[in-house]
Amino acid sequence: MELSVSTLARSPLTRRLAATALALAALTAAPALPAQADAARARPAPEPISTARGAGQSVALTFDDGPHGADTERLLDVLRAYRVKAVFCLQGDQVAADPDLVRRIAAEGHTLCNHSVRHDDLGTATAAQVRADLEATNALIRWAVPDAEIPYFRAPYGSWGVSARVAQRLDMEPLGWTFAVEDWEEPGAEVIAQRVRERLQPRSVILMHDGGGDRSGTVDAVETLIPELRLAGWRFTLPAKRA
C-alpha cells in the first residue's frame, strides 16, 4: 500500500501510524553517500548554541524527548501560570503519538526544536542518513503544526557527528546546553532543583526532560524554581541567536 499525505486524513490512530510510517520510510530510503559524508565531516562543524539570550542573569529552559502526556500537560500549565516561554525538543515518534499536545505547545508560544524521529544516536550516521532523519522529524512536527517554525536541532545524547552541519543546511541551529540536571535518573524534585541552584551561571541553557520517563519530579522542580529564581533577579529567556 502506498502511503501519502491523504492517508493522514483518516482516524486519529491511523493518522498517527501513517505519520510514523512515512517518517520511517524516509529514513530507510535514505541512500548512503560516502563521498558526501566525507566532505561534510571535513568542514568545520558549527558550535552548538549553549548560552541564553541577554546579558547577566538570563536563563533558558529546554525540555527534551516529549511530548509525553500528563507530564507535558502539567509543565505547560506551570509555564503558562508564570508566563515563561521554553524550548521543546520534540521526538518524532512522540509527536505522531500526541499531535494535539504539540499543537498546544506551539499555540502557547513555545519554541520548537527537532530532536530526531526515535532518539537514535546519529554520531556515526552519514550526512544523507542524518538529513533523512531530520527531514522526517520536521515533517511529523509540521503534520501536527502546519508551517511550524523549527529553529533548532538538538542531537540525541549530544552525539553530533555531522548532524550540526546538516541541521544548519536545513535552516536549524544546533542547540546544546550549559548544563543538564540528569533528571533521567528520576532523583526527585528537590534534588533536581538543588542541581540547578548549584550549577546556574549567567546565560545558562538548562537541559531538562518532559519525556522519556516519569518527569513529575522535573515539573515539580520547575514549579519551585521559577518564582525562586525570579525573586533572585533571574530572567527567563530563550537560547542565544547566532551572530
* Rounded Cα–Cα distance for residues 234 and 46 (Å): 29
Burial of 79: CB neighbours in 10 Å, binned 0-12, 13-18, 19+:
buried
* Rounded Cα–Cα distance for residues 239 and 52 (Å): 4
Give the list of residues 6+ apart from residue 1 with CB closer than 8 angstroms, or none: none
Which of 38, 64, 93, 147 is an active site residue?
64
- DSSP code per residue over the chain: ----GGGGGS-HHHHHHHHHHHHHHHHHHPPP-HHHHHHHHHSPPPPPB-BBSSSSSEEEEEEEEE--HHHHHHHHHHHHHHT---EEEE-HHHHHH-HHHHHHHHHTTPEEEE--SS----TT--HHHHHHHHHHHHHHHHHHSTT----EE--GGG--TTHHHHHHHTT-EEB--SEE--GGG---HHHHHHHHHHH--TTEEEEEESSSS--HHHHHHHHHHHHHHHHTT-EEE-BPPP-
Which of 68, 115, 209, 210 is an active site residue?
209
Q: Is 68 a catalytic residue?
A: no
Q: Is 64 a catalytic residue?
A: yes
Q: Which residues are catalytic?
A: 64, 209
